[in-house]
A = this chain, B = another copy of it.
Amino acid sequence: MNLEIIKQISTKTNTKILFLVIDGLGGLRHPDVGMSELEAAKIPNLDRLARTGTTGLTIPVAPGITPGSGPGHLALFGYDPIQFQIGRGILEAIGLGMRIPPGGIAGRGNFCSLDGNGKIIDRRAGRLKTEENQKLIKDLSSINLKKGSVQLQSGKEHRFALVFEPEPGSTFSENITDSDPQKTGVLPNSVTPLSKDAAETADIVQDFLTKAQGILKNSESANGLLIRGFSDKPDLPSISDLYKLNSACIAAYPMYRGLAELLGMHIEQTGEDMESEIQTLKDIWDKHDFFFIHYKPTDGKGEDGDFPGKVKALEELDKLIPLLLDLDPDVMVIAGDHSTPSVLSGHSWHPVPFIIKSNISQSGDTEKFTEQESRKGALGTIKATDLMSIALAHAGKLNKFGA
C-alpha cells in the first residue's frame, strides 16, 4: 500500500495492537508425515483464533522470492522491502546488537589468513574459535581513527561487524569499495572511494585497516582481516510518523531489536525466552499502543530441518497464547516473516498464514491454523505489506479515504 496515503489517513486512537511475529511460521508437508508442521501441531488456542478471526496468507516480498529476515520483517510492518533495502553491513551489525549512530556506516568483517607476501590463503582463517575472535577484537579496539571512532563486535568463528561513527555533525559515506576481494591467492583490496564525497571516509577506513593489519600480523592463523558490505543507516520513515503509533519492540534476539529500532520502535529490555518477553509485555502494556513481540524458535527448528522440533516450538507457543489474550488487545495479529519449512532446512517463498483477531473480525471457512486452511480465510492471499494497514483498520486507526 502507498505509505503516503496511509500517513495521510492514519489517526491516533486509544486502541492497542498486539503484533506477534512467529519467525519462519509457514511450512511444507513432510513426505513421511503427510502433514505440515502447523498441521501436525496440537495448537488449540491458535486454531480457535483462526476459526473466529480473519485469516489469510501473506506473500512476504513477491511470488517465488525467498526473503531474508530483514525484508520479511519490513514487509510485515508495511515497508516494501524492494523499495527499502537495508545494507548488508547494517544488518550484520544490528544482528550482533550494535547501534548505528547518525552518519555512521557499518561493515561485515572476516578474520583471514595471509601468506608471507600478504596474499589471502583462507578467507575464514580456518573458522577460528569464537573465543580467539573475541580476543583479537579486544586488541583491535585500541585503534584510534584519524577522525571519528570505530566499534567492533565479534560474531561466531571468523565473523565480526564494525561500525564507524563520525565526529558530531559529520557523516561517513557508504560509497567505498570492499577490502575483501572474496577470493584467495590475491592481496586484500585497498578501500577506495566510489564517489567524490567518500574520499575522506575511504582514507579513514583504509588507515584503520592498515593499523589493524599491523596489530594482527603476528597472530598465528588469523593474521589478517577483510571487510565488505559497507552501508549506512537506511532512510526509513518511522512507524510513529507513518501510523501515529507509540510502538514497542519485545524481542529476545538482537537482529529483530535492531530492525525495530531502524523503524523507530521503542526497544524494551527483555529476557531470553518467550515467557520473559510476555512478562515484559505485561509490564509495559499501559505505555504503548503497538507491540511487536517476536518468537524465534520456529525459525531455528525449521532451519535445522527439525520437523518434530518445529512442531514442538509451535505447541509451546500455543500454550502461551492465553497469556497474550488476557491482556485484551483490541487487535491481535499473528503472522510470520516468511516460511521456514523443515523439509527445506531454510527460508522459503511460500505464502505465510496469518490471523487478525478483533471485535470486528470477519471469519471465513478456516477450521485450523494451517497453510491450507488459512487460504480459506476472509482475506485470502495478500501481500505482506498490506497486513499493517489491515491491522490499523481493525483498530480503527485509519480514517476514510476521500469524501
Q: Show the binding face of A for B, using Cβ within 8 Å.
A: 1-2, 5, 9, 28-29, 61-71, 81-82, 85-86, 88, 91-92, 95, 341, 343-344, 346-351, 360, 362-365, 371-372, 375, 378-383, 386-393, 398-403
Would A389 and B9 be within 8 Å (CB), given that A28-B360, A350-B362 are in contact? Answer: no
State A70–B5 Cα separation when bound (angstroms): 16
CA distance A390 to B398 in the complex (A): 30
The 4 closest A-B pairs by CB, nearest first: A64-B389, A64-B393, A68-B402, A63-B386
B62 touches A2 (CB 8 A): yes
Q: A5-B82, A28-B360, A402-B85 are in contact. Are A386 and B67 (CB under 8 A)?
A: no
What residues of chain B lie closer than 8 Å to A386, measured between beta carbons? 62-64
Cβ-defined contact, B68 with A390, below 8 A: no
Inter-chain contacts of A380 with B (CB < 8 A) = 375, 380-381
With A28-B360, A350-B362 in contact, is A402–B64 under 8 Å at CB? no
Check A398–B362 contact: CB distance below 8 A.
no
Indicate which residue in B67, B362, B363, B402 contacts A67 across the interface (CB closer than 8 Å).
B402
Residues of B contacting A387 with CB < 8 Å?
Answer: 63
- List 24 interface pairs A-B (beta carbons < 8 Å), by A numbering: A1-B64, A5-B82, A28-B360, A28-B362, A62-B389, A63-B379, A63-B382, A63-B389, A63-B390, A63-B393, A64-B390, A64-B393, A66-B393, A66-B398, A67-B401, A70-B403, A86-B402, A88-B403, A344-B360, A347-B400, A349-B398, A364-B375, A372-B378, A375-B380
